[in-house]
Amino acid sequence: MTSRTGAGPRPAGRGSAGTALGVLLLVVVLALGGWFGLDTITADPSSPTSPRAPSSAARASTDPETALLWVAVSELPAEARRTLTLIDSGGPFPYSRDGATFGNFERLLPTRPGGFYHEYTVPTPGTASRGARRIVTGEQERLFFYTADHYASFKRIKR
């Protein structure tokens, strides 16, 4: 029977000099990347949670109140423009859920009291269901938001 007295190779990943060197190398690479402006690791630089500051062009197209990107009515799909017209005229709406309270459970829109936001379907051509596109309103403050991905992200509609 042999006993270990510190001689021989150490198990990998247990405080070895190689691990420390690897961590140090990673820190240096990340620091140099930030120094030279190579910090493009973020998935969405326009995201309000992104550590990268948005460019001046992005700031100009971002709503300062919500930090969401603006979208002009003219840039919306034709179906979204028709839905806005229906909202402005008070209906009639083609879907039974149109006008239902939107809970903002994703917390991507400004925090408001319950019942403040309402959702409206934006039809998606070629789908048998309501699809993923919606307009969410906070009509007391004339807030309008568009989502093309069923509330995963929003843009503020510039009217």
**44-73 per-position pLDDT tens digit:** 444 444 444 444 454 569 999 899 999 999
Contact 123, 79 (CB under 8 A): yes
Q: Which domains does the chain possess?
A: 14-45 (no CATH), 56-158 (3.10.450.30)
Tell me the pLDDT tens digit for each residue of 95-150.
999 999 999 999 999 999 999 999 999 999 999 899 999 999 997 889 999 999 99
Q: Is 150 a catalytic residue?
A: yes
Residue pair 106/80 in contact (Cβ under 8 Å)? The answer is no
- Report whether 18 contacts 5 (CB < 8 A): no
* Catalytic residue (one of 75, 139, 141, 150): 150
Catalytic residue chosen out of the listed positions 118, 119, 139, 141: 119
User: pTM to 2 decimals?
Assistant: 0.63
Please say whether the beta carbons of 52 and 139 come within 8 A: no
For the sheet with 143-147, list strands across it. 70-72, 155-158, 143-147, 134-138, 117-121, 100-102
